């Protein structure tokens, strides 16, 4: 998306995504409109299907990009938008049969779950979009950046102040075990949440900063208070925008493989990322040192076995950033 705007200044980008996906894309200043429609629903309501199709046809798009794996059905949907160029990933098996006939460009996925490839999950599509063309040279993807509205900053500031935290003097703790969809964990890493008991042990190592525990649902508040104490700073956050604003005012982030790590990188905040394996760490946070991110990996392949001592030793990254501020 960033690549598209740099390569073609003035281009307008609209997004079709699920309700939670819409919240994420609204952080991107390059997005004009974000419409809610769940592309992963294999049996959508006919009214919803025809409505979103009508919306897309009426906007006369030059190009439609889809990261949903396409079979003949999804390819037909993209074809009916009447966009000039229709580009999509397709299934890596027989389910892709016929899809290529209705698409301008296709990319065969390496697996059924693109998210498993981590940060570079859309590498094929990005490479194609950035290819040299006529007099336009190849463009590389710039670092992820997000925009936060003033209103959102004010709302979140009130939340963390009510929780007893001060701007620039707290560390965001994200990745508490929960069944809520607002946990914002990666689809490519199911082992990416830790029980509050582990987080409490990690938080005890913070000396110069106050830990702020992010909960995705109010039902988790009592459990956190039981383990950490009634005076714990707990903030209820459900959207990527709120999380970005909370991270923006913090001194740093300690999180598992959730949106918090990518948002910390986008806001150039120091972070400690906890992964179930070294491979996952390399996949989801490439060039970690350049992003002021310390990756801590479990040696057993299970996140629950993350070495807490290593996390405590890595906390000096926050003190170093404070000294440079």
Three-state SS string across 62-82, please? CEEEEEEEECHHHHHHHHHCC
**pLDDT (0 to 100) of residue 108:** 96
Q: 3.10.100.10, 3.80.30.20, 3.40.50.2000, 3.40.50.1860: which CATH number matches 150-324?
A: 3.40.50.2000
Residue 202 has phi, psi (to 5 degrees) of: -70, -45
Cα atoms in the 13 Å half-sphere on the side-chain side of 278: 1
**pLDDT (0 to 100) of residue 2:** 45
Distance of CA 236 to the CA centre of its chain: 18
Q: Which of 168, 180, 178, 173 is nearest to 201 (CA)?
A: 173
Please tell me which residue, 143 or 200, carries the higher pLDDT value: 200
Q: What is the DSSP letter of 194?
A: B
Q: 3.40.50.2300, 3.40.50.300, 1.10.3720.10, 3.40.50.2000: which CATH number matches 2-129?
A: 3.40.50.2000
pLDDT at 3 over 70: no
Other C-beta atoms within 10 Å of 208: how many?
Answer: 11
pLDDT at 314 over 70: yes
Q: SS3 for 30? A: coil
Q: What is the DSSP letter of 97?
A: T
**pLDDT (0 to 100) of residue 181:** 85
- Residues 6 or more apart from 277 whose CB is under 8 A from it? 297, 298, 301
pLDDT in tens, 256-284: 999 999 999 999 999 999 999 999 999 99
Domains 2-129 and 150-324 share a fold: yes
pTM as predicted: 0.90
Please tell me which residue, 28 or 317, carries the higher pLDDT value: 317
Of the listed ranges 79-83, 180-184, 275-279, the least confidently predicted one is 180-184
Q: How does residue 322 score in pLDDT terms, banded at 50, 70 and 90?
A: low
| Distance separating alpha carbons of residues 212 and 160, to the nearest angstrom | 8
Distance of CA 187 to the CA centre of its chain: 10
Other C-beta atoms within 10 Å of 50: how many?
Answer: 12
Q: What are the extents of the domains in the chain?
A: 2-129, 150-324
Q: How does residue 8 score in pLDDT terms, banded at 50, 70 and 90?
A: low
Biggest CA–CA distance in the chain, Å, is 63
pLDDT in tens, 197-254: 999 999 999 989 999 999 999 999 999 999 999 999 999 999 999 999 999 999 999 9
| Averaged confidence pLDDT in the chain | 91
């Amino acid at each position: 998306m960033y690549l598209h705007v740099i390569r073609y200044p003035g281009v307008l980008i609209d997004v079709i995504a699920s309700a939670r996906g819409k919240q994420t894309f609204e952080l991107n200043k390059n997005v004009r409109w974000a419409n809610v429609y769940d592309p992963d629903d294999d049996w959508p309501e006919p009214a919803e299907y025809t409505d979103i199709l009508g919306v897309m046809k009426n906007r006369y798009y030059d190009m439609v990009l889809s990261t949903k794996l396409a079979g003949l059905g999804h390819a037909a949907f993209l074809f009916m938008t009447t966009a000039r160029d229709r580009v999509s990933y397709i299934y890596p098996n027989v389910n892709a049969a016929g899809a290529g006939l209705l698409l301008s460009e296709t990319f065969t996925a390496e697996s059924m779950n693109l998210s498993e490839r981590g940060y570079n999950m859309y590498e094929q599509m990005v490479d194609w979009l950035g290819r040299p063309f006529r007099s336009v040279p190849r463009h590389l993807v710039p670092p992820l950046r997000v925009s936060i509205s003033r209103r959102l900053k004010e709302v979140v500031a009130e939340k963390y102040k009510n929780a007893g935290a001060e701007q620039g003097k707290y560390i965001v703790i994200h990745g508490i075990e929960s069944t809520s969809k607002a946990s914002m964990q990666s689809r490519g890493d199911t082992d990416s949440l830790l029980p509050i008991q582990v987080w409490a042990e990690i938080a005890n190592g913070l000396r110069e900063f106050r830990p702020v525990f992010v909960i995705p649902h109010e039902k988790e508040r009592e459990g956190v208070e039981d383990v950490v104490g009634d005076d714990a700073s707990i903030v209820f956050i459900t959207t990527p925008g709120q999380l970005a604003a909370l991270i923006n005012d913090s001194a740093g982030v300690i999180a598992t493989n959730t949106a918090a790590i990518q948002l910390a990188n986008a806001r150039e905040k120091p972070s400690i990322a906890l992964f179930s394996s070294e491979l996952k760490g390399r996949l989801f946070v490439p060039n970690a040192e350049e992003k002021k991110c310390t990756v801590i990996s479990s040696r057993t392949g299970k996140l629950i076995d993350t070495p807490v001592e290593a996390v405590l030793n890595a906390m000096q990254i926050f003190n170093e950033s404070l000294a440079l501020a």
